[in-house]
Structure 1
């Protein structure tokens, strides 16, 4: 049930996320007539702007980051008319009354998007509460990072819960706003032929890869304190695990879907300290070449020594009836050869090959779900090569392709934040992350980090433009499995 608000308040309104994603997304919703009529948008940050100068700032962001085919002078003007700005030092409660005055009457509902450093969460919540901006018609969206371990996550969640109960708290993982990620649910639960084999009897292993070609870019300060495990596995990759592994929800709503995801996180097998060296691999990129360009090592980019991992590979298990014994191989890294996010589901081989005596070789079927940069679903199946077969039967693996980009070419593909911002404004929690999910994820991640500390595991070097340390290859090869690489 939609319950749209009349006001939107953006914290961190001059930051990189606001310029690249939030302002273009809100403009896209405005241009398509999807924002509630009369909705006003107030930006706030420490930068010293007034309404006029912030609108110029927003206009510059739209000029730079909007696709050319989306630019419309009239729509941009009417969008900018919605926007106001109030400078604020969120660490000091004294500035919040002026912010409340700027936002105005919130009896029609207020949505807050909080994109600030984690240490500002608690003073910001207190400031909002003291200024009357945390009432029963206010909901808050929280952008990660939401802590760096279970203890800090609980601290942030406790601080937020003082003013915002769970049903008004929307934790954001932008991967859940991606069209192809949501298509996982349609693929699994909208087609009858997958579910009978979507289990330990039909599936041999599952691989999830999130590979980036970039290095540190502008994120050095945050990334060196986080590393690949906290930055990517603790949220994006584990959310993908949940969507692949969850039981069928009874209905498509926030409670049913998140209940099933939470069960998956609670079923993740805890990695014991003595197991960490055998089922996890960490790496840090050195110098090399990516896309034909010579790039520096992580240490040289950072400018100081560091033991932060830029690559991690994990062999995980979901200990429940459906998935007992099926390994989930998880992998993410920076400075990889290509940029892509992909799920590869390898089915078990047929129990008996009648083609073997005639020389026909079979490969197990594989389902590949590509999330980015292209969006497609590909099923690899066995087919017979044309011919008279006098020298034996030749079988070959061929792809059945569903390109979402091509199939829905006439439909504009929205970036994830458009959907998530609209859901926040309208109050739909389905694609947001619940507290019990977050804390179960952190319990699993913290156990891995404890294993690294107990074994004094340091990241293994790998060359930029490669698929990580050789130990990551060994992680799957000793099980007779090969990573699905481009």
Structure 2
């Protein structure tokens, strides 16, 4: 097929699960809404052998499976599929990239690359792109995780990418940053005067960040056992949530200002002591009323890989001194949930105490999934004549993003991230110094595990993790927000 434009989007791993579930539906949504140039070509590549027609049929099947019924439009689907092309490529062989360059044709007016590949293929892929003339100034490259499994391997990958591309051309993807509720955290903090005077150690007692899953290995057996909960989720998604929650007000809403403030937080993270963290691994239990096997049964062999981790973290700077950040993540937990909970301090004096009024400190809950809402829990007086005493109770001030913006189209994170990649907007992508600061902190945790031979504590599938994880907050006189 002859090139109709010199602007293109190149998808590596175009036949994989991420492309079928997320990337192709996201690109279709952008096409349907007229948000990408009508002449933009979308070229998929992978090791499997297909021609353009076969790739389009694969894409059609994926869209029929994963697009909501109300998003399907036959005429727009047909025009979207016409955009798609395919080039078979073994990314481990740089000499094969000449055929890819020939397929793409003239890319002088812009090429965006979405690279989702095994870490071992980063270096030959970048070398192949460079040799084929696909690493010029007009190219932007998006890198899907995992970007290494420790600081050393992350640096090797970053050096390999930097050999072909400058930092302004590199877009490191953390899909959590594309979620509307995560972006609303910035709006909540920096567009509302009421929170900033309290958003520090004077007003906040502690912060909790929970990312809990009910699923087990789900076909990721080999990858997950080599990675574990700490590196799979905490190193990237959860530390980005910590940075956004704790960052100082940026100078402006732009990539440099926001990422400058995030990296300051990540560098201020205190090394974690052994008594401030818990490792766990799920055993047999029940999730959603159905019996499920334990991790070792799912894996089929012995392993001490953690499927649960809880950490008491500290940000050692002026704003957050003395405020613990409790982080927990696990598989086969009681509920699927991602949320940030900001627990404020109590009022200094209870004027209602003599008349029986009991107070609870205010709490801000920012729910990322499965629902999306911001909930402020405040104290209110129950109606009545109060002859038996004043009765106070918590009530919720809710902002449901789904309800408040009911007329706005809800978008999955990859829609925004792909559009930003195409347009060259780096604000929601992770800079190299952020990645390396995250790995520095996580590597130190793993060294403590190794030096102390920290055991992996069992927990029943369908619970909230091992008892030691619950005790992590309880011994501080606090409780997880369950």
How far does residue 5 in structure 1 lie from its aligned partner after superposition? 8.1
Q: Is the Cα–Cα contact under 8 Å of residues 235 and 441 in structure 1 kept in the other structure?
A: yes
Paired with 1:412 and 1:306, the residues of 2 have a C-alpha distance of 44
- State how far apart, in whole Å, the 1-side matches of 2:89 and 2:302 are: 36
Name the structure 1 match of 2:476: 479
- Distance in 1 (alpha carbons) for counterparts of 2:455 and 2:282: 13
> How much does 1:94 deviate?
1.8
Q: Which secondary structure does the structure 2 equivalent of 1:368 belong to?
A: strand
When residues 66 and 317 of structure 1 are mapped into structure 2, their CA distance, relative to the original with a 3 A threshold, is same
Aligned partners of 1:5 and 1:111 also within 8 Å:
no
User: In the alignment, what sits opposite 1:280?
Assistant: 277
1:291 aligns with 2:292: no
**Which one of 327, 347, 351 corresponds to residue 324 of structure 2?**
327
Is the Cα–Cα contact under 8 Å of residues 8 and 42 in structure 1 kept in the other structure?
yes
Equivalent residue number for residue 172 of structure 1: 173
Matches within 5 A, 1:313-392: 313-392=310-389
CA contact 2:190–2:196 (8 Å) conserved in 1: yes
Q: Is the 8 A contact 1:5 1:425 kept in 2?
A: no
Structure-2 residue corresponding to 1:6: 7
Deviations 1:14-67, CA, capped at 9 Å, x for gaps:
000000000000000001000122100110000110001011011110010000
Equivalent residues of 1:280, 1:313 under 8 A apart? yes
Partner of 1:225: 226
User: What is the distance in 2 between the residues matched to 1:245 and 1:93?
Assistant: 43
User: Structure 2: which 5+ residue stretches go unaligned?
Assistant: none
Distance 1:180 1:252 in 2: 16
Q: Which residue of structure 1 aligns with residue 137 of structure 2?
A: 136
Distance across 1 between alignment mates of 2:290 and 2:29:
34
* DSSP 3-state at the match of 1:370: strand
SS of residue matched to 2:109 = coil
**SS in structure 2 opposite 1:180?**
helix
Q: Does the CA contact (< 8 Å) of 2:6 and 2:106 recur in 1? A: no
Instruction: Check if 1:244 corresponds to 2:241.
Output: no
Which ranges of structure 1 fall in alignment gaps of 5 or more residues? none
Report Cα offsets for 1:115-160 as digits up to 9, x if no partner: 0101000000000000000101001000000001000000000000
Contact conserved, 1:367 with 1:377, CA < 8 A, in 2? yes
The one-character-per-residue Cα deviations of 1:81-135 (angstroms, maximum 9, x if unpaired) are 1110000100001211001001111011100000010100000000000000010
Q: Secondary structure at the match of 1:422?
A: helix
Aligned counterparts of 2:38 and 2:77: Cα–Cα separation in 1: 16
Pick one of 408, 421, 428 that aligns with 1:411: 408
TM-score (norm 1): 0.98
Which residue does the alignment assign to 1:68?
Answer: 69
Q: Give the alignment's TM-score, normalised by structure 2.
A: 0.98
Partner residue in 2 for 1:39? 40
Distance 2:197 2:343 in 1: 15
3-state SS, counterpart of residue 484 of structure 1: coil
Alpha-carbon separation, structure 2, partners of 1:160 and 1:428? 19
Deviation at 1:458, TM superposition (A): 2.2
Report the Cα distance in structure 2 between the residues aligned to 1:131 and 1:388, rounded to whole angstroms.
81
Moved beyond 6 Å, runs of 4+: none
Q: Secondary structure at the match of 2:157?
A: helix
Do the aligned residues in 2 keep the contact of 1:5 with 1:426 (CA within 8 Å)? no
Residue aligning to 2:146: 145
- 2:268 match: 267
Q: Per-residue CA shift, 1:420-467, capped at 9, x if unaligned? A: 000000000000000000000000000000000001012100000000
Secondary structure in 1 aligned to 2:143?
Answer: strand
Structure 2: how far apart are the matches of 1:70 and 1:21?
14
Aligned equivalents of 1:168, 1:467: Cα separation in 2? 42
Contact conserved, 2:6 with 2:105, CA < 8 A, in 1? Answer: no
Deviation sequence 1:318-352 (CA, Å, 0-9, x none): 00000000000000000111101011100000011
Indicate the residue corresponding to 2:28 in structure 1.
27
Q: Give the structure 2 partner of residue 196 of structure 1.
A: 197
Work out whether 1:257 is the aligned partner of 2:258: yes
Question: Out of 451, 456, 463, which is 2:453 matched to?
Answer: 456
